[in-house]
Amino acid sequence: MNFDLVLAGVGGQGVLSIAWVLDHAAHAAGWQLKQSEVHGMAQRGGAVSAFVRLSDAPVASDLIAAGSAALIASVEPLEALRYTGLLRTDGTVVTDVTPMVNIDNYPEHAALYEVLFSVPNIVAVDATRLAHAAGTMKAQNTVVLGAAAPLLPLPISAIEAQLQALFEPKGERIVQANLRAFRKGNAACGFVQALRAAGVPTARVARVSARLAFAPHPVDDELLAAWADRLLGPHGEATAAQVFAAPRLVPLDAVLAVTA
């Protein structure tokens, strides 16, 4: 079995920290792997990426061919789109929706989101705000890792163990904040998977998941059913647009008041 993963973002967002965690978790789980990195002008907000290739057999190359990546995990939305040419037809994009405007010709945000949410398989999260709620703004990369984790061929426990090892030198408060951030991302992915399984269109799910205040535990079945009913209803498109336009994270149980 092979699993090719692209990690992306800009300098300072912790892309290579995600790679470190995944590499060590994969090694602990018995996978063989190769990884390559592109740092760019990292200290000036330039593009940073890593290709991670996992296999149950020796890996010959650290490069990912066009159309072969199972997953793109990005801490910046434009950087996520940069690598979609490498994605398999059944592959998934997991990304923070918070733009890092680091170039003069950065796309207008509405146009960016229109393209981003048209990706057939996408898990969109407001990783920056979720990280802040978890206890440290710097954990937006950990939120993205959590949202990608259910899609990886690695045990969640192995990833959490490596997160703990990475952040232990910074103290227990940072360890716990990153674990909360990771679990919030994990909950977001579960929410997206459940709504997609219920038949909610991808773009609607993406607009909603990108603005919800996920807790560090799975979303309960009542809330999942309520969101599915609302988004599949006659006003589902308008609801998704309204949620995405919210100036702050929307509580998960807000849907109950709307549908009551």
Contacts (Cβ under 8 Å, ≥6 apart) of 234: none
Domain that holds residue 82: 2-259
Return the CATH number at 222: 3.40.920.10
Query: What is residue 179's predicted lDDT score, i.e. its pLDDT?
Result: 98
Task: Tell me the C-alpha distance between 54 and 34, whole Å.
Answer: 7
Query: What is residue 35's predicted lDDT score, i.e. its pLDDT?
Result: 84
Query: What is residue 142's predicted lDDT score, i.e. its pLDDT?
Result: 98
Query: What is residue 58's predicted lDDT score, i.e. its pLDDT?
Result: 81
Model pLDDT for residues 152-203, shown as the tens digit of each residue: 999 999 999 999 999 999 999 999 999 999 999 999 999 999 999 999 999 9
Query: What is residue 87's predicted lDDT score, i.e. its pLDDT?
Result: 97
Number of domains in the chain: 1
* pTM (2 d.p.): 0.95
Using 50 as the pLDDT threshold, list the residues of the chain that sit under it. Answer: 260
CB burial of residue 25 (10 Å; 0-12, 13-18, 19+): buried
Nearest to 195 by CA among 124, 93, 101: 124
Nearest to 215 by CA among 153, 146, 141, 121: 146
Task: Quickly count: other Cβ atoms within 10 Å of residue 245's Cβ.
Answer: 9
Query: What is residue 260's predicted lDDT score, i.e. its pLDDT?
Result: 42
